A and B are shown apart, each in its own frame.
Chain A
């Protein structure tokens, strides 16, 4: 269970990215986070693993207060939270397998990983994850030799290496074409359904939300404006979330 209580983030320039946001996510749920660009979706996801320090509020995960965790504890918390990014965020010049193995960095002994030594089990596991997302044959290619869809699959394999209990996906399909988008989303669904991993996924397209999400939260200018089932988003709700002038596409 992930509980978010009165979360607020104000950036240095005074921009209020999150404004008193509270909601809960039961274990194993596929939660879609929707809203306009700049509505605070990315900030919300990054506050959960504290890539961004929240200004106020609390995040409880299975009762443990993430916002109050020390650096040492944060390392243990973060390694159970996988993250997938819009721009994949792979290290371009490294090999695919190295990018995937990086997912183990929170587990392995820092001293050994500095000289690029991973346990044998980890390497076998990395190959297995690549097989799971269907690009095992690319393991020894450089990451930037891969196409966008393949790169995102490497990103998912990296998140899987963490043995995550939760995956934060920050617009994972926003820079992919619709066919690839479904392929990536179905990988996330697979993780969610078969591994019982909680998924928080910010999305732009409502058909993807309807197709994959169990539940939806919507942000508008940092405020939580909707919380409910995907089918509850009717035209009126839509205008509330996306603004009066918005029109539905897709």
Chain B
């Protein structure tokens, strides 16, 4: 038996979210861990896959598949699941991961569990799992009965851990997975590094109907760090006061090598574009540091930032709910604290 994991690339690297999914996939304990990657074989970072315990790489070369086509990707996964006799197929809980696994669920008629934090085989066709509800504000304990378990991984609740590296608990809502990984100092996953990866190159023939919906990708915004993968996020909320109050936050973010994120009130007031929103209906972030400035901490916002390793809050209100989720806090006005912090950092 084996497990198949759809992985996404981020430029020349494996996407961080896919490393998190692979970390969870390893805990299923199957001897085989296959990944499915839609790319030219030359652009697949094989060494990184080996670091995460992968045994087989199924490279789906473009052919008719130029451009992302969600239904076609789902069809390819269905074929590979049958071919390899997979016990589970998973993906990172991204837009693409959810969408492709939903197609796979619809194609096969099987259930699909979104945003799992822990999946445990329980004999035969049964898997016990823990998944997010309310974007992670609640956890659901569930049982999946299916010949192939289909699920996505809540990437803000699972830290990426290569084989042979000790697992460190992320500052996250769910810590179940950390309990499933062996303790610090031991080796999670298969005890030996696979000496060689088996690489299987496929050029699938697909029906026209599976290719009707296909993405054309624009050049995108010029460079820059994305909110979802930024190492530092400087968050601004109602306390920023208006569209013209963000310059110091931008300056601080740039100094720290990070990006600005905002709360829902900021986007619904039109102060900043929606793509900068952190929260249940915006982006879920997993930075090393989230600096929440003038953000009270509605639970829909917490759902978006709970995957941060550390949270520091700057707020005038010592009773603000964000303080119950932060590691450190400064009680004060962000309009004074942030310029002073910027000055102190520039003086170093």
- A, B bound: no
- Residues on A lying within 8 angstroms of B by beta carbon are none
- Residues on B lying within 8 angstroms of A by beta carbon are none
